[in-house]
């Protein structure tokens, strides 16, 4: 029987803490790489992950009907979050609509099917672990350290860009589906970012 003394810590050799968001140039670098590689599914998943700001468990569980109406892609979608059971709304940009539409057509997916089905018989859609490995491949493809990024990188990216552009915390809170503003502050690491920004502007 394994004892607590012999059990290896889950985080041994791993970087822990908040995963940084992608920068705008990183987003476009990954998009271009996926386009040139003709990775239709990955491009749809990447764009949707950025736009939706969903947790990994919610992203992989999306069905075709969640982002379409009939044969048309939705410009806005609403999903009930698995963790909080609270609905969250997000916009699908034109690039995302085009990428997801192309994937649905290629995979010949029906309304009730999962948007990102698994190839494994015992799983109806890709797992969050698989999604995490895919994210690592994306960031590694443009020369970033995959151990420094994760699925929450995808969730934080657009929310961080919106906050930096607008400084509207309440709007970001709604977009992330947080019940408390304090959660949004902690999630974005805003206090640290703002402090660094002030220090950079201060001449000594």
More confident residue, 164 or 99: 99
- In the structure, what pLDDT confidence band is assigned to residue 110 with cuts at 50, 70 and 90? very high
Parse the chain into domains and list their residue ranges: 24-150
- In the structure, what pLDDT confidence band is assigned to residue 11 with cuts at 50, 70 and 90? very low
- In the structure, what pLDDT confidence band is assigned to residue 16 with cuts at 50, 70 and 90? very low
Sign of the four-CA dihedral 48, 49, 55, 59: positive
- In the structure, what pLDDT confidence band is assigned to residue 170 with cuts at 50, 70 and 90? confident
pTM given for the model:
0.79
Mapping DSSP onto H, E and C, the string for 30-79 reads HHHHHHHCCCHHHHHHHHHHHHHCCCHHHHCCCEHHHHEECCEECCEEEE
Which of left, alpha, beta for 37 (phi over 0: left; psi -120 to 50: alpha)? alpha
Q: Are 123 and 61 in contact (CB under 8 A)?
A: no
**Which percentage of the chain shows pLDDT scores above 70?**
84
Q: Class of the 24-150 domain?
A: mainly alpha
**How far is 141 from 156, CA to CA, in rounded Å?**
20
């Amino acid at each position: 029987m394994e004892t607590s003394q012999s059990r290896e810590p889950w985080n041994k050799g791993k970087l822990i803490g908040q995963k940084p968001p992608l920068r705008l140039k990183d987003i476009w670098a990954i998009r271009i790489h996926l386009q040139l590689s003709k990775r239709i599914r990955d491009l749809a998943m990447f764009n949707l992950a950025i736009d939706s700001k969903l947790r990994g468990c919610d992203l992989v569980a999306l069905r075709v009907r969640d982002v379409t109406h009939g044969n048309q892609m939705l410009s806005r979608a609403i999903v009930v979050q698995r963790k909080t059971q609270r609905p969250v709304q997000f916009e699908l940009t034109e690039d995302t609509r085009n990428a997801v539409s192309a994937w649905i057509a290629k995979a010949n997916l029906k309304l009730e099917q999962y948007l990102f089905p698994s190839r494994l018989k015992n799983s109806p859609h890709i797992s969050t672990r698989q999604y995490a490995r895919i994210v690592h491949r994306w960031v590694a493809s443009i020369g970033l350290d995959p151990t420094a990024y994760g699925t929450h990188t995808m969730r934080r990216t657009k929310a961080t860009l919106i906050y930096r552009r607008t400084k509207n915390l309440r709007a970001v809170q709604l977009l992330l589906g947080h019940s408390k503003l304090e959660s949004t502050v902690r999630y974005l690491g805003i206090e640290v970012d703002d402090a660094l920004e002030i220090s950079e502007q201060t001449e000594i």
